[in-house]
Copies of this chain bind each other. A is one copy, B any other.
Amino acid sequence: MDSTFVVGIDVGGQTSKIGVVDARGTVLAQTVIRTDTYDHVEPYIAELAEAVNKLIKESGTEGKVRGIGVGAPNGNYYTGTIESAPNLKWAHDRVEFSKLLSEAMGGLPVALTNDANAAAVGEMTYGAARGMKNFIMITLGTGVGSGIVINGEVVYGHDGFAGELGHVAAVRNNGRTCGCGKTGCLETYASATGVARTAREWLELTDEPSVLRGLDTIASKDVYEAAKDGDKLALKIFEFTGKILGRSFADFIAFSSPEAIVLFGGLARAKEFLTEPIEEAMNANVLPLWRGKVKIVYSQLKESDAAILGASALAWEL
C-alpha cells in the first residue's frame, strides 16, 4: 500500500478550505471554495469534489490518497451527517455529507466530525498534544468549541455530539443570553464575541477611562490591542475572561482528569493576558489533588493550516 497522503477539508460558513497533507503534517497544497453560494448540498459537493480532485492532481498525489477527513459544524462522526447547522444554508436539515462526498470521489473513504473535535485530533497527531492520551481541546473563536480526548480517543458520546463545553453554565443566575437559547453559557463570556460583549457592557456600566471608548464598534481584537497598550479596562476584561474560563476548566478536570487543556482559536492569541487568570481560577476551584498539576497549553499548529490539519488527521484513522 503506497497511499501515504490524506485530504483535510474544513467546512466553514463562508468558505471551505481544502488541503493535501502528508504524515508529518505538512500541507503540500491547499485551496479554497465558497460554502455560502449554495442553497443545496448536491452542487456544493460537486464543486468540492472537483476542487479536491484538482488539488490531488496538482500535488502529484494521485492514487496515493488514503482518505478524506472533514471538520464541519454539527458534523456527526457516527453517522457522517451534518444536521441543522445554522450557518450552512444547505444543511438546515440533515445532510448525508460523508456518503455524498465519498460517492463523488469514486468511493474514497470520508470521515467527518465537528470542527473542535477535528482540532483535537489535529493537535494530537501533529501538534501540542502529541503523546498525550488525555486532554481537552478548547477552541476560543466566535464561539467556544471543545474536543475531548480520553485514553487517546475523541469522545463522541452516545449520539456523536459529545463535547459541547461552550454550553456549560459559566454563570447560573442572570447569565447572558446565548445563541443556543439558554443563558449563562461559557461561550457568551469566553469567546471572541463574549470578550467584545464584556467590553461593551463594562463601558456602559462604568466610567472607567479606556481607549475602547473612542471606537464605534468593538471586536475582541480591539480589546487585545488595547490590553497590549496597557489599557486598564482591557486588561481587566481579559482577567475576567480568564477567570470565567478557569472556573469552568476546574469542573472539566473533575470529569476527565486531563493531562492538559489545549487552547486554540483567535482569542487564544491573547495568551499573555489569559494564562495567569485561567490558572489562578482553575487551581482555586479544583480538588487539592489536581492543584497545580493540569497544564494550560496553546495550539502548536500554524493558524492558517490548523483547520485543514485537524480535519486531515481524522483520515489517518480511516
Interface residues of A (CB under 8 A from B): 84, 133-134, 148, 150-151, 153, 155-165, 167-169, 171-172, 180-182, 247, 250-252, 254-259, 285, 287-290, 293
Distance to closest chain B CB from A213 (angstroms): 30
Within 8 Å by CB of A167, from B155, B164, B252, B287, lies B287
Q: Do A158 and B257 touch across chains, with their CB atoms under 8 A apart?
A: yes
In the bound complex, how far is the Cα of B290 from the Cα of A58, in angstroms? 44
The interface centre, meaning the residue of A157, A169, A247 with most chain B CB atoms within 10 A of its CB, is: A157
Q: Do B287 and A256 touch across chains, with their CB atoms under 8 A apart?
A: no
Contacts of A165 in B (CB 8 A): 254-255
Contacts of A160 in B (CB 8 A): 257
Distance to closest chain B CB from A51 (angstroms): 31
Distance to closest chain B CB from A145 (angstroms): 12
Q: Classify the secondary structure of A's interface with B.
A: loop
In the bound complex, how far is the Cα of B257 from the Cα of A156, in angstroms? 7
Contacts of A148 in B (CB 8 A): 255-256
Q: Do B257 and A182 touch across chains, with their CB atoms under 8 A apart?
A: no
The chain B residue sitting closest to A168, CB to CB, is B251
Q: Do A169 and B285 touch across chains, with their CB atoms under 8 A apart?
A: yes
Q: Do B180 and A158 touch across chains, with their CB atoms under 8 A apart?
A: no
The chain B residue sitting closest to A260, CB to CB, is B158
Q: Do B247 and A164 touch across chains, with their CB atoms under 8 A apart?
A: no
Contacts of A181 in B (CB 8 A): 288
Given A171-B172, A247-B169, A182-B256 contact (CB < 8 Å): no
Offer 26 A-B interface pairs, CB within 8 angstroms, sorted by A.
Answer: A134-B157, A148-B255, A148-B256, A150-B155, A150-B157, A155-B256, A157-B257, A157-B258, A159-B293, A161-B257, A161-B289, A162-B255, A162-B256, A162-B257, A163-B254, A163-B257, A164-B257, A165-B255, A167-B254, A169-B247, A169-B250, A169-B251, A180-B287, A182-B287, A251-B251, A255-B255
Within 8 Å by CB of A133, from B158, B161, B256, lies B158
Known: A84-B289, A160-B257, A161-B257; 6 extra A-B contacts, CB below 8 A, are A156-B257, A157-B258, A162-B255, A168-B250, A171-B172, A181-B288
